[in-house]
Each structure stands twice: as structure tokens, then as C-alpha cells.
Amino acid sequence: MTDLRIAIVGFGKIARDQHVGAIAAVPGATLAAVASRNASLPELPHFATVEELLEKGPPIDAVSLCTPPQVRRAQAATALAAGKHVMLEKPPGTGVAELDPLIAMARDAKRTLFATWHSRYAPAVEPARAWLASRRIKSVHINWKEDVRVWHPGQAWIWEPGGLGVFDPGINALSILTRILPRPVFVTAAELDFPANCQAPIAADLKLTDIGGLAITAEFDFRQTGPQSWDIVAETDQGQMTLSRGGRIMAIDGKVVADAPDQEYRELYRRFVKLAVTGASDVDLAPLRLVADAFLLGRRNIVEPFVD
């Protein structure tokens, strides 16, 4: 089987830090081109837009869309119409309904549409899922707080409509939550803090539950300084399970039982290569639905303006 020839569309921090190295490390995947208005990679063909890439670029089989979510739907539709497989960075879009036409396009064209949730591939997530499956879960708390100036410097799009604000990292926690819990969950209440000069929240507190009434709370904050927090704690009838470092480390009653190096993006591309062999798609919208419901149900509080 020949390698899956992939073009990265949108060449910002996440593409440089994660996607390039992951593609290079995965057998069966080759980085063939870059499409970006503002950045390029030495020795690779470069184009300003996905349209120019498809018209003038080298032969490719797939695109990996790392652009801001506000423009991904149109780019994905263009790529699918050209017969390419499509990987979507998270979140897959700015709304839930806009994914349905893309799913139908991919199905009709027998091409892969892969909506990625990289945090689900953190090394301790599957051990946590397996451990919780045989326990009675009493409560779950998410503490997901980071410094936006460190992780999203100068990225104005994140504060615009569809940029998600603090839910850009927060959706990572929700992607893990919806993977490790045995039953679907839904939002019951939310408090959203919007800076006076922004269209997306800088902090959020959520209450969620499942059909059995499980108590789930989540705290998201973009204003954290010093140590960063990416933790999920589940209280069960057989002890406390803690996922920390964004799903990298799992501990039971404080004792570490799973810890491994981060290979999240390599696992994404292994999955993408495998899906593309048959043209199958993988589009789980559960985390995005929770964020959408948080906006629907959320009480909006105006806080001090944000200055990057």
C-alpha cells in the first residue's frame, strides 16, 4: 500500500508543534504540502489556500485542516468535493448541524471524514475507562485551567463567535469525559464569564449529569497562572480515580497506575491512515454537543476586558 499523501491546511502553532512530527513518525503517512496564508515549511510545496493547493499542488490523498474552526466547514466541503480524505482538528466546527452535510458528502464519495479528539488518545484514558466500567461512580469533577497567553498567544480568532474561548481547551476535557463514562451525559446548568470586549467566554462552570443522576461538575478557566491544571477526578465505591496532565497520568487513591509518554497525535494519524484504506468515517459529536448546550443553557456574566 502506498503512503497516504497529506497536506496540512493552516500552519499555526498546533500544526508546527504536533502535526508535522506526528505525520513523520507514522508509517503509511507522508506530508506532501502545506496551505497557509502566513507560513510555510522549507522544502515542501506551499500554497495560500486549499483551493490553490487542489488546483496547482502536487498529488495528494488527504488534507488535515488545522485552520480556525470558523472556516473549516467550507474547506472540508471543498476537499471532499475534490475526492480527498479529510481530518478535522478539534473542534470539528463552529456548530453541530454544519457537520451533517459533510458526513453525507464523505459517505457518498466513499471518503474519510475524521473529527479528531486528540485528548482521547492520551495514554491513561483507556485504562481509566476500563477501571470505571466495573465501579459505581458517585461523582466526577473536572478542573481544567490554563493560561491563554501561554497556549494561544495572539490568536484573536479564539475570542470571536465560533472560536469557543475557554471551551477550546475545555472541549478536550469533555472529549475524555464522554469516552471514559459508561453512559451519555448532558448539561443541566452553566455559568459563562465573557470579557467585556470578547464574544467567547474566558471561564465557565458547568453542571452535568447522566440518566441515572450522576453528579458531574466542571471548572474551566483561561486565566490560570503558574502551574496549569488538566485534571478529572472520579469518586467511586472502590476509591478515587484521578486523571491528570490531560489524561497522561492515572492514579487510584493517589497511587499512579498508568503513566506513559504523550503520543496523542501519532495515534490520530495512525487512525486516519487506517480509516482512509476503506474510506470509513469517524465523527463523534458528543463533546461539541455539550459545548453547544452550555452556550444554550449558560448564564452570561460580563467580566473585565481581556488584553493579550
Active site residues: 90
CA count, 13 A, side-chain hemisphere, 108 = 10
Neighbours of 274 (CB within 10 A): 15
What are the angstrom distances between the C-alpha of 234 and each of 46, 72, 204? 46, 34, 20
Phi/psi region, residue 226 (left: phi>0; alpha: psi -120 to 50; beta: rest), is: left
Please tell me the distance from the alpha carbon of residue 193 to that of residue 299, in angstroms, as a whole number.
9
Residue with cell 458528502: 105
**What does the buried/exposed string (b/e) look like for 93-131 if buried means 16 or more CB atoms within 10 Å of the residue's CB?**
bbeeebbeebeebbeebebbbbbbbbbbbbbbbbbbeeb
Task: Pull the grid cell for residue 119.
Answer: 485528548
| Terminal CA-CA length for the chain | 47
In Å, how far from its chain's centre is CA 169?
A: 8
**92 vs 82: CA distance, rounded Å:** 19
Identify the burial level of 151 via C-beta atoms within 10 angstroms of its C-beta, where 0-12 means exposed, 13-18 middle and 19 or more buried: middle
User: Is residue 245 within a helix (H) or strand (E), and if so which, with residue range?
Assistant: none
Burial readout 282-303 (b: 16 or more C-beta within 10 A, e: otherwise): ebebebbbbbbbbbebbeeeee
Helices and strands counted in the chain (H then E): 10, 15
